[in-house]
Amino acid sequence: MKPFSLLIKPASADCNLRCEYCFYIDHLEKVKKTPRMSEEVLEKMIASYMQTNQNNNYAFGWQGGEPMMMGLKFFQKAIELQKRYAPTGAVISNGLQTNGTLITENFAKFFGEYKFLLGVSLDGPAYLHDYYRKTIGQKPTHNSVMRGIKHLRQNKVEFNILILVNNENIRKPNDLYYYLRDQDFNYHQYIPCVEVDDENNPKSFSITGEDWGDFLCNIFDQWIKEDINQISIRLFDSILDYLVNGRYNICHMDKNCCQYFVVEYDGSIYPCDFFVREDLLLGNVIEDTWEDVLKSLIYLRFGHEKSKWHNNCDSCPFINLCHGDCQKFRIGSFQNSKILSVLCKGWKKFFTYALPRFKILADKIRSGNGLTSTIQIKSKKIGRNSPCPCGSGKKYKNCCMR
């Protein structure tokens, strides 16, 4: 059996915030009651997953909406069930994506005890973050998020910062990057915001491909100056992982979308977070086996659509780095996948600009010249006449210093 991970939405789209750009909140309209995963569904999901052959590595991702609306007792029960059904020698990982406003001291202690990895949504300093990320009552949330992060740090919980790059913060890449760095947030994940209306027109908070390319180039410039051994940017790490090891660890880079399963609060199973749709319902954890779901023609067809990219992609020098990009960004892709990603121009600009220096970094990693990853060694401030950290052999002032 091909290994897979679970992305679980125990409270479905329910959330204590109403971020204007949220793509998932509309799912609440389809739910007749408050969506909460029952203990029956939770136990069946965990028990059945633990019975599959995952090379003894089982990955649970908890997401929403806001998964912490389930309360602490729910996650304590999940850990209890994981222990009960885990095969001998199993390695279990739990990740949780949260808006950060509900993190209490007790929650943080629990996350620390059981080694949860958290992804905390933060769109930058308060003036950028609070532009879209508001409560149901339209109150700002930046201070609440920072309070939650303080609890995580006090309990030594590992966390990443998730930044949704929208039409506001994309204009301020330097403000955004330096704010995160000044807060000692060393793990960044930049996520492009692209949402369309019923007629496939971009919504006001969406970004363009051109802006995405400019943003990534700016972030790259700041990162490569002196932060390659201090700041981990998931996209950059993934590019290096591909160049060094030939593997993909971000799904949009791969050529097939059969990689994980979404489990909704009622046990319904779907192939992707962005495609929780009735026509893509694969089954239910109560009634169906994972073997059957893996063999589902709907699932296999969905995964294969990724490789049906636009004809222009065949001659693109960067095809191995995106394989036509995420199907979500090929607007209308599941009906006609041969559509260029709306971010295509941005990806091309970024890869053209940055890939030569990524290749130099990859060569250094392969040769064992001290750069083993982008996050293992704290970097020192680099002098103007020091060798440039990109590995070009030039002095810093004549290369990447700007």
Catalytic residues: 273
Q: HSE-up of 384 (CA within 13 Å, CB side)?
A: 2
Residue 373's DSSP bridge partners are none
Residue 94's DSSP bridge partners are 60
Residue type, 283: G
Give the residue ranges of DSSP H helices in 15-91: 39-50, 72-85
Q: How far is CA 219 from the centre of its chain?
A: 17
As to burial, measured by CB atoms within 10 angstroms (0-12 exposed, 13-18 middle, 19+ buried), residue 381 is exposed
CA 334 – CA 74 distance, rounded (Å): 35
Residue 34's DSSP bridge partners are none
Angle value at C-alpha 294, between 288 and 299, nearest 5 degrees: 105
Q: How far is CA 224 from the centre of its chain?
A: 22
CA 395 – CA 92 distance, rounded (Å): 45
Which backbone phi and psi does 104 adopt, to 5 degrees?
A: -100, 175
Reading the block at residue 4, the tokens are: 């897979």
